[in-house]
Amino acid sequence: MKPRLREIRVQPAVEGGQQGVLLTDPLGIGQKAMFMPKALALLLTLMDGTRDSGTLRTGFELRTGTPLSDAFLERLIVQLDEALLLENERFARAYEAALDDYRSAACRPPVLAGKCYPSDAGELSAFLRQYLDRQGDEGRGYPGEVKGLVSPHIDFQRGGHIYAGVWSRAEAALRQAELVVILGTDHNDGEGRVTLTRQSYETPLGIVPTAQAAVDEFVAEIGEGVFECELNHRGEHSVEAAVVWLQYLLGDRACHVLPILCGSFQPFIERGESPLKAAHIGSTIEILKRLTSNQRTVVVAAADLSHVGPVFGDSSPVDIAGRAAVTKQDEELIETMTGGRADDFFSKIASDRDRRHVCGVPPIYIALSALCGLKGTPTGYAICPASEDGTSVVSICGVLYHQEAVWK
């Protein structure tokens, strides 16, 4: 057996006073978390499917000077297998079963309800209303003009005022829209995929139907590959956060949604090439352009900005000077976003190889491209804590894209 570790979530952790990493399944297929002592973490990098247990043991000893017994290594591999953290037949069967369950369900149920926002419809409405009320009359503008927006996907407790600032200004356009395209960051795809689903999204406020005809257009032009990572929709929070605000502002009005998850553009950044080199990215943009020209449509990029500090793999904590630097760099980035040019935005990110880990690059890039250079107006910006000690931060913003002429 040559164990191959899946793409899993690895986070710093302490257990029994011992430093190490916690291994979890980001897809939620494997329910069991595993703690790995720091001294053994290197072993994970060797599990790439090319080494059997003997080669793993030798490779680890050569790199660390620490011997491992056959019994220990075999037991560890069994534990990883039982936790469904290895890429093998056992995981493949579990994945297919989970995908079947997802597709056969009546809808995609909310995963944040009761955690990041109330699960009761009345309580949720009151919860969101408090943020909107703080906007006052300032949040009423751009009637009938809004064609798109950038909204956070961070939790509402930290980002509620930024959500309210941009969504309230889009309310009139949303109430006229026939289709809302929601481009969400796919935190579990590192290959730049575009992933759709036929499932409708449910929140405590009800179900927002997915536009099946629009999904059909993607399948016809790109193929069934748009469903390759469909299970990512089950646990991904970025689209869900936008759907909650949309549904609240729509009230009883019906509107279809096209939920699209957008995988990381890091491969394009590393290769020094435009995302348009990938045929499916160009096709996605062209399909969205057609959809927006044929019906009243609002395009939403559910996207956070910088992720900086030790929690995100940086060596240095973020202090006051660090926050000022993040703010300055974000302001420059937001300026390119409001300029409406997708290529300028991507060039800005690629110029420092996305050193600030801007997770919203793919949805923002695709949204800017689909909106054909439409200019934007910033509606808010904030830096949010991402660790208990405040040494790591996430930045978020709201941007509204509007034009003079209303839809006809």
pLDDT tens track, the chain, 408 positions: 899 999 898 888 889 889 999 999 999 999 889 999 999 989 999 999 999 999 999 999 999 999 999 999 999 999 999 999 999 999 999 999 999 999 999 999 999 999 999 999 999 999 999 999 998 766 555 544 899 999 999 999 999 999 999 999 999 999 999 999 999 999 999 999 999 999 999 999 999 999 999 999 999 999 999 999 999 999 999 999 999 999 999 998 989 999 999 999 999 999 999 999 999 999 999 999 999 999 999 999 999 999 999 989 899 999 999 999 999 999 999 999 999 999 999 999 999 999 999 999 999 999 999 999 999 999 999 999 999 899 999 999 999 998 864 443
Write down the pLDDT at residue 403.
81
Q: Which residues contact 69 (CB under 8 A, 6 or more apart)?
A: none
- Number of folded domains in the chain? 2
- Give a yes or no: residue 407 inside a domain: no
Residues 97, 115, single domain; the answer is: no
- Which helix (H) or strand (E) segment holds residue 363: the answer is helix 361-370
Query: Does any domain span residue 389?
Result: yes
User: What kind and span of H or E run contains 195?
Assistant: strand 194-196
CATH code at position 212? 3.40.830.10
Q: For residues 250 and 157, state if they share a domain.
A: yes
Amino acid letter for position 59: G
The torsion angles phi and psi of 9, rounded to 5 degrees, stand at -90, 125
Last-in-domain residue among 47, 80, 101: 101
Q: Are residues 152 and 199 in the same domain?
A: yes
Of 37, 69, 101, the domain-final residue: 101
251 shares a domain with 394: yes
Q: Which of 72, 101, 130 is the last residue of a domain?
A: 101
Any domain includes 277: yes
Nearest to 371 by CA among 181, 201, 227: 181
Burial tier of 49 (Cβ tally within 10 Å: 0-12, 13-18, 19+) = exposed
- Give the residue among 150, 146, 140, 174 at the shortest CA–CA distance from 406: 146
Residues 219 and 119 in one domain: yes
Same domain, 50 and 93: yes
Residue 141's domain comprises 111-402
Three-class HEC string of 258-317: EEEEECCCHHHHHHCCCHHHCHHHHHHHHHHHHHHHHCCEEEEEECCCCEECHHHCCCCC
Handedness of CA 26, 32, 33, 36 (dihedral sign): negative
Let me know: does 260 contact 184? Beta carbons within 8 Å.
yes
Q: Is 127 inside any structural domain?
A: yes
- The Cα–Cα gap between 234 and 239 comes to 10
pLDDT recorded at residue 313? 87
Could you tell me if 82 and 178 lie in one domain? no
**Alpha helices, DSSP H only, in 28-69?**
41-46, 53-64
**pLDDT the model gives residue 135:** 84
Q: Is residue 286 situated within a structural domain?
A: yes
| Residue 26, helix vs strand vs coil | coil
In one-letter notation, the amino acid at residue 250 is L
- Whole-number pLDDT of residue 142: 57
Tell me whether residue 408 is in a domain.
no
Does a structural domain hold residue 106? Answer: no
